Structure 1
Amino acid sequence: MLPTAAAALLLGLGAPALAQAPAALPPAAAPASPLLPLPPGPTGSLPLPLGKGTQVVTLAQAEQQLIDRNLAVIAARRGVDAARANRLVASALPPPQISIGNTFAQFNETRGGSIQGARFFSPTSNIAAGIQVLIERGNKRTLRTRLAEDQIGVAEAQVLDAVRIQLFTLRQAFLGALLARANLEVALGNRMSLDRTEALLRRQLRDGAIPEGDLLRFQASRLPFEVDVPNNAQAYAAGVAAVATLLSADPAAFQPGAGQLDAMGIRPAMPAGLAPPPATIRGTPAAPTGTPSGPASAPTTVQTILSPVAFDLRGRFDAVPQLGIGREELAQAIESRADVVAAQRQVSAANSNRLLAEASRSRDVTVNGSWGRSRLSQDLPFATAPLSANDAFAIQLSIPIFTNRIVEGNVGVATAQAGQAEAQARAARLQARADFAAAWAAYEQARALLTLYTGGALNRAEEAFRSTEAAYLAGGRTLLDVLDALRTLNATRVQANQARYAYLLALAQLEQATGVSGIAPRL
């Protein structure tokens, strides 16, 4: 192979494949090379084949929408509404009861057992009315109100805890989607460069400069790069669907036309079969332009690379924000984490409930007042003043008895529940500290790994590729050696993306574990 052809081939192979290097490298980064140009822009900015009108969503926008639309957060807010309504019930006095009725029939009995003077009354001839009032003792109303207010505090803390958990879940899904997007950008860049290199080899095969075996070996070697495209596209679509679900949006609501990008030659085929036959000429499969008919003419690229998605998630995945707060300050902030606060408030509510149960030892008194009017029978003996009706007033007091076992049982239940709440509060605090310990360890390891990749691993992989291509130009290496160096460089870039993802996720996990806002990355 002529040196000029080799240089042109490597120029097509190396340039786009390395277009997804990190946007910010340390000062020790390798100088620019005609075969290794500097990256054109930040990771996460490459346009993807999306449908028209697809909404672009950043992490900040998604977080705001989550607070307003997330169903778990909305359900927690409804719990606060229920607790506040329950306070109205708890602070009210026991309602009095009014009763009214009448005697609709009357008859008289003689000493001999006979019945005389049987008659029926209309409602106005015989009526009885009464009122019943429960008088609570032991300050029960105040204790009920205190318990209801404690439960409001618990519900409010649970809302904050729901926001904390759902925000972390959103950030995890969003960062996972950005990771898939960054890897997809690397895969698309690799495929574009491999397509150009394959076109060069096809022309050289047509001109007789190389044997067909060289092209076949190249085509076989590019398959791992090709598999990365649909895998990362599927991971990105899955991440978008997870984000849409957290935002209470329909993950399957998308615009038609997604998955097409003519500039990249991406034109999805109809899903009629797994392997549609190529176009034929007189019954014989047509070979690509410049390639003789044969195994080398078979397709080497996937066509459908991205399913329709509800959103297009954007963010500076290559950003490396600093923590900005020390370990001791974070450890002290654990006491204010929402679930720890909710558990402590649950202890207060349980103690209020125990006091309310103990107040039942003071028996309540029920007061009944009544008035009745009954018309007298007209066949009664005559008196000096003729009588028409009899009016009667009455008052009754009632006190429950034999309640000691019930009251003491309720007190025992409430005391045990208070002990449970206290144990659960201690467990919540210990779990929060365990979460912080794990999150801090993950942060330190992720930071060290990210420093490794951005500080030297990527540079070494690029230098290895340079040396391999230089040896190939000098005739000391084969094309497959160059492809192997490109695979190593591609794997290093993907692993660097994974290190960025781990670092950004570790920051989000630290905020979730400590409850300190502002730690999670702002992309």
Structure 2
Amino acid sequence: MIRPILIALAVTAAIADAHAQTAVITPAPVTTAPAAGPAVAAPEASAAQAQLPISLPSLTLAEAEALLLERNLVLVAARRGVDAARAQVLVADTSPPPTIGYQQQVGGWSESARFRGYNGARGTSPLSNGTATLTVTIERGGKRELRTRLAQENVSVAEAQVLDTLRGQIFQLRQAFIGGLEARANLGVALANRRALDNTEGLLRRQVQEGQIPESDLLRFQASRLPFEQDLANAAQAYAAAAAQVAAILGSNATAIRTLSGAAARDPVAIVLAPVPFDLRGRIETVPPAPPAREQLAEAVAGRPDVVAALRNAAAAEANTRLAEAARSRDLTVTGSASRSELSQDLPGGSRSFAAGSVSLGVSIPLFTSRLVEGGVASATAQQGQARALAQAALAQAQADVAGAWASYIQARQLLTLTTAQALRRAEEAYQSTEAAYRAGGRTLLDVLDALRTLNATRVAANGARAQMLRALAGLEQASGVGGISPRL
């Protein structure tokens, strides 16, 4: 009778140690949230994150979002697009530059019938024989103002695209961060299990040495640890992958492996976590507030950045159509020139010279441009209709996104209530019943471990349900464009 009692005490002490690290072994009393939110099991105040076997700098979601604004490379590229669009406003708000030219006569010759043929050549001075020209294009139809308006519309499109890029990158960051917190919580469960099992195994070893139990009991116990070790390895790998994804979104290096020493150098989990750039900190057990009503979210989608960008792109297409229509007013090209020439009027060897100068003014206008202009107008009109259709499609897609995100939220809320309020409590009760039967001699230690394994699976499922709820709220904010829905972790 002494042997089962000692083993039961060891398992109970191990479970108590696990409970101190993560508050999911013993479920808290079920509390009901307001009518707008889900009914969930409130986490205990002692639910602190488990200590990792490696020291890492911590990072919260708020800190990660602040870093994203500065270091996210996709966002940086989008901002450069705004800079490029603003530079094009300077180009558009400029009339065609005038051109100046100069033509120089560099040589000449003379012929005379009196001397029957060619009689030589002589060079000419640049100051005595040259022509200067100035050409100015006069735009008609308000083309400069229309070009400027089009460039300004393109700036507004680029600015809306920056906001849409920010919306998408924030959503990706939150998804990766929530996934990291889920893996972090599962890793905490697995680490607590390892400590508990290590304590139990140490007690069994002492009992084997004292001859209280056969060695076969210790071997069966050690064999039963394999699933727990697999869960630990999977959780560590999932956490490392999630942290690396967060690092990529923040433009950080996730490949710098730390040098481990002491016990950490022999710990498989520490080796897996060596390249992790930071420890993701946050409470996955956070009870989020209820989001706004579905009708309010549906009305807010018109202000979603991608919808706004599509509408502004349609306005830019309209400005481009007006610019194409302005080509029906033909531009004028005015050319002025001044020339001076001084050449000797006798044979190349003579001394007589004659100087002449002239000033001229010319105007030109392009001909036969109607087909080119009308083709450009037709193309711009078609692009304008295309942009309007795309704007309507963007709004319809946004409305569909809100509908899908709302359905995901409802499903996540129901799953969270079912998992944390029912399944977790039943798994806890099943474990307690198995432990009591073991103490009474009606169950074996392996039965207790099997019940613990079931409880662990339920705890992991509860972590998944909590993470799914947080993802659903982040998705609802991303789909509607309404800020403040995703909870602060």
Q: Same fold (TM over 0.5)?
A: yes
Mapping of 1:331-346 within 5 angstroms? Answer: 331-346=298-313
> What is the rounded CA distance, in whole Å, between the counterparts of 1:219 and 1:248 in structure 2?
43
Task: Give the conservation status (yes or no) of the 8 Å contact 2:85–2:155.
Answer: yes
Instruction: Choose which of 315, 338, 359 in structure 2 pairs with 1:348.
Output: 315
How far did residue 26 of structure 1 move?
5.7
Instruction: Choose which of 451, 465, 468 in structure 2 pairs with 1:485.
Output: 451
> What is the rounded CA distance, in whole Å, between the counterparts of 1:13 and 1:312 in structure 2?
26
> What is the rounded CA distance, in whole Å, between the counterparts of 2:296 and 2:134 in structure 1?
63
Instruction: Choose which of 368, 390, 395 in structure 1 pairs with 2:335.
Output: 368
Query: Which amino acid counterpart does residue 95 of structure 2 have in structure 1?
Result: L
Task: Give the gaps of 5 or more residues in structure 2.
Answer: 32-42
> What is the rounded CA distance, in whole Å, between the counterparts of 2:152 and 2:131 in structure 1?
42
Q: 3-state DSSP class of the match of 1:107? A: strand
Q: Deviations over 1:182-241 (max 9, x none)?
A: 000000101111111111222222222222222222222121011111111111111111
> What is the rounded CA distance, in whole Å, between the counterparts of 1:42 and 1:517 in structure 2?
28
Query: Which amino acid counterpart does residue 48 of structure 1 have in structure 2?
Result: L
Query: Which amino acid counterpart does residue 46 of structure 1 have in structure 2?
Result: A
What's the counterpart of residue 138 of structure 1? 141
Q: 3-state DSSP class of the match of 1:401? A: coil
Task: Give the conservation status (yes or no) of the 8 Å contact 2:98–2:136.
Answer: yes
Equivalenced residue count is 471
User: 2:162 aligned with 1:159, yes or no?
Assistant: yes
What's the counterpart of residue 409 of structure 1? 375
Task: Give the conservation status (yes or no) of the 8 Å contact 2:317–2:384.
Answer: yes
What's the counterpart of residue 522 of structure 1? 488
Q: Taking structure 1 as reference, are residues 197 and 40 closer, same or farther at Cα in structure 2, changes over 3 Å only?
A: farther
What's the counterpart of residue 449 of structure 1? 415
Task: Give the gaps of 5 or more residues in structure 1.
Answer: 30-37, 270-300, 381-385
How far did residue 465 of structure 1 move?
0.8
What's the counterpart of residue 39 of structure 2? none
- Give the TM-score taking structure 2 as reference length: 0.91
What's the counterpart of residue 433 of structure 1? 399
What's the counterpart of residue 275 of structure 1? none
What's the counterpart of residue 35 of structure 2? none
Q: Taking structure 1 as reference, are residues 404 and 343 closer, same or farther at Cα in structure 2, changes over 3 Å only?
A: same
Task: Give the conservation status (yes or no) of the 8 Å contact 2:477–2:484.
Answer: yes
Q: Taking structure 1 as reference, are residues 111 and 448 closer, same or farther at Cα in structure 2, changes over 3 Å only?
A: farther
Identity score, percent: 56
How far did residue 305 of structure 1 move?
5.3
Task: Give the conservation status (yes or no) of the 8 Å contact 2:186–2:235.
Answer: yes
Q: Deviations over 1:283-322 (max 9, x none)?
A: xxxxxxxxxxxxxxxxxx9785533311111111111211
What's the counterpart of residue 104 of structure 2? 102
Runs of 4+ in structure 1 over 6 Å off: none
Q: 3-state DSSP class of the match of 1:149? A: helix
Q: Taking structure 1 as reference, are residues 172 and 422 closer, same or farther at Cα in structure 2, changes over 3 Å only?
A: same
What's the counterpart of residue 50 of structure 1? 54
User: 2:205 aligned with 1:202, yes or no?
Assistant: yes
Instruction: Choose which of 48, 63, 66 in structure 2 pairs with 1:64.
Output: 66
Q: 3-state DSSP class of the match of 1:392? A: strand
> What is the rounded CA distance, in whole Å, between the counterparts of 2:51 and 2:398 in structure 1?
41
> What is the rounded CA distance, in whole Å, between the counterparts of 1:267 and 1:96 in structure 2?
74
Q: Taking structure 1 as reference, are residues 333 and 25 closer, same or farther at Cα in structure 2, changes over 3 Å only?
A: farther
Task: Give the conservation status (yes or no) of the 8 Å contact 1:237–1:309.
Answer: yes
Q: 3-state DSSP class of the match of 2:474? A: helix
Query: Which amino acid counterpart does residue 457 of structure 2 have in structure 1?
Result: A
> What is the rounded CA distance, in whole Å, between the counterparts of 1:480 and 1:55 in structure 2?
39
> What is the rounded CA distance, in whole Å, between the counterparts of 1:21 and 1:57 in structure 2?
22
Q: 3-state DSSP class of the match of 1:248? A: coil
How far did residue 59 of structure 1 move?
0.3
Q: Taking structure 1 as reference, are residues 24 and 7 closer, same or farther at Cα in structure 2, changes over 3 Å only?
A: closer
User: 2:467 aligned with 1:501, yes or no?
Assistant: yes
What's the counterpart of residue 46 of structure 2? 41
Q: 3-state DSSP class of the match of 2:172? A: helix
Q: Taking structure 1 as reference, are residues 115 and 395 closer, same or farther at Cα in structure 2, changes over 3 Å only?
A: farther
Q: Deviations over 1:246-265 (max 9, x none)?
A: 1111112354338x7x5xxx
Query: Which amino acid counterpart does residue 153 of structure 1 have in structure 2?
Result: S
Name the structure where helix makes up a greater proportion of residues: 2
> What is the rounded CA distance, in whole Å, between the counterparts of 2:8 and 2:372 in structure 1?
94
Q: 3-state DSSP class of the match of 1:137? A: coil
> What is the rounded CA distance, in whole Å, between the counterparts of 2:26 and 2:433 in structure 1?
23
Query: Which amino acid counterpart does residue 338 of structure 2 have in structure 1?
Result: W
Q: Deviations over 1:456-481 (max 9, x none)?
A: 22222111111111111111112121
> What is the rounded CA distance, in whole Å, between the counterparts of 1:103 and 1:411 in structure 2?
45
Residue range with higher mean Cα deviation, 114-123 or 333-342: 114-123
User: 2:180 aligned with 1:177, yes or no?
Assistant: yes
User: 2:426 aligned with 1:466, yes or no?
Assistant: no
Q: Taking structure 1 as reference, are residues 387 and 303 closer, same or farther at Cα in structure 2, changes over 3 Å only?
A: closer
Q: Deviations over 1:365-419 (max 9, x none)?
A: 1000000011142439xxxxx9741110111111111112211221222122112
Query: Which amino acid counterpart does residue 166 of structure 1 have in structure 2?
Result: Q
Query: Which amino acid counterpart does residue 10 of structure 2 have in structure 1?
Result: L
